[in-house]
Homo-oligomer: A and B are copies of this chain.
Amino acid sequence: MEFNEAKEQFINSWGSLGSSWGVSRTMAQVHALLLITHDPISAEDVMEALNISRGNANMSLRALIDWGLIEKKVKLGERREYFLAEKDLWKVAMRIAKERRKRELEPIMSALSQVKDIDPETGDKKEIAQFKGQMEEIEDFAGRVDGLLNKLATADENWFTSLLARVLIK
């Protein structure tokens, strides 16, 4: 396989992985491009490499910065901004976990706690009790996942690696 072909295929695979996990394809492709690029590149370079518009490149880069997956590098004496990706996948995974916890776990947890406050007059007693029970189970589960993600988000790299090692050896 040619080198360029290989790069392109990686970018596409990473892109479709992204879209099946609720991240826009382009954002994942930009991330892939930066993962395989060792020197910082500009928005212009990204536009060119992926054939995307200026606006799209800008939005994707900014979103990646928000997620903590890439950073801006300013070259002295140059207006242009350059971008560089975090290459360590453990760190990448932790940042994604942290971000998704904030965006998706928090809302569902708050919804769950609201939803348990039911006027007992408005339904069958037993059914309400069952429903509340189910909600509590979900809350409990979400709470544990939340705890785990929090732990991951603040843990140092080796902690997670060694945890995984432990889990997998057993």
Contact = CB atoms under 8 A, between A and B. Distances in A.
Interface residues of A, number: 54
A165 B20 CA distance: 30
Contact of A22 (B1, B6, B21): B21
- Overall SS of chain A's interface: helix
Contact of A164 (B118, B144, B168): B144
Nearest to A131: B36
A89 interface: yes
Interface string A1-40: 1111011011001101101111000000000000110100
A11 B5 CA distance: 45
A76 interface: no
A146 to B, nearest CB: 10
A122 B4 CA distance: 8
Assembly stoichiometry (copies): 2
Interface string A103-132: 110011001101111110011000110110
A2 B128 CA distance: 10
Contact of A141 (B4, B21, B89, B114): B89
A47 to B, nearest CB: 21
A90 interface: yes
Interface of A: 1-4, 6-7, 9-10, 13-14, 16-17, 19-22, 35-36, 38, 87, 89-90, 93, 103-104, 107-108, 111-112, 114-119, 122-123, 127-128, 130-131, 134-135, 137-138, 141, 144, 147-148, 151, 163-164, 167-168
